[in-house]
Structure 1
Amino acid sequence: MRKLIEEKPLDDIDRFNLNDLANAVGWSIEDISEELRNIWRDPLDRVDRYKNMFEKYYENAINLIKKDPQQVAEKLWGAVAALIKLHASLKRVFIAAWDHGKLYNYVTNSIERVHRDLFYNLLTSGEVLHRYFYEEDLDKETFNIFWSKTLQLLDEAKQIVYKLYARTFSRE
């Protein structure tokens, strides 16, 4: 991380670790690098970054659906992770790690009770697609079911997060 902050050259191990982290999160190496360079900032300062990342990965997934279902699955998982990090940053909660358990724990401890099931279902459905990226274990019909379900849940969760966004910045 220090090398990224100081903009020093990365060695093979650094690049391997960045690539591994990018695959785990569903984000690009550039987005992971930018995230790590800014890890010490106030989460509220990162709101627009996460919003833009959510929109980018969501759009990429929509645009790739006819071409590359495997990449679609990863991009949609990236959108799920970015949306949850957006919610967290709006509440000034820092989520350092991207592992699935941390995302579930955030939902349990920080999402309003009335919306928790939606976010749990979003994570669960998104995880199936994330696994598909690695294993290609779903037939076309099953993939399409989870794709549609995840999109629907993501759209519902997006409305909640964007309302929080509007409330947060209308106070300033």
Structure 2
Amino acid sequence: MKNAPLMKDKDNYRQERAEIKYFNPKYVQNAQAFTGRRRRGDPYRTNITATLIKPWGNNVTVEFSYRAKGMPSAITISVKICDVIKRKWMMDFMKTYSDVKLYCPVPAGTYRVDNIELPPKNFPLPIPKGDIHINITHYMTQTKEVVMHTTLLMHTV
């Protein structure tokens, strides 16, 4: 099977259909996601809001996976929360688009991620062309109990 061609220019992508598929009320409340644009011709952007009931540290792991049509399997990264927020590309992304506290543990509270543009600048992995299905799952590190699951579609325009 051929490898999917890679895109380098984020302006060639359009994101849509952000959705919180599940959130566990023991850990998160009022989780919402929306993708839209202000007016015709503007880029689509995604907004996510959630209230953390308990602090998130390395007790929570985030699993980010994406797959394009034609890829034999998804590319998946799993990283504990405190470890991921130390990474420069993630820190730059979160400073630009969110009010999430960038220290560990992240305190309980309501947080917003506004007007996300995907893929993030300095994203460390290649992004293939085509329809890309993105899954972001937060889970308890020790038990694998799902805390929140978000999906998004991004595709070449």
On whether the aligned pair clears a TM of 0.5, the verdict is: no
Taking structure 2 as the reference length, what is the TM-score of the superposition? 0.29
From the two aligned structures, give the one with the greater helix fraction.
1
**Hey, which of these two has a bigger chunk of strand by percent?**
2
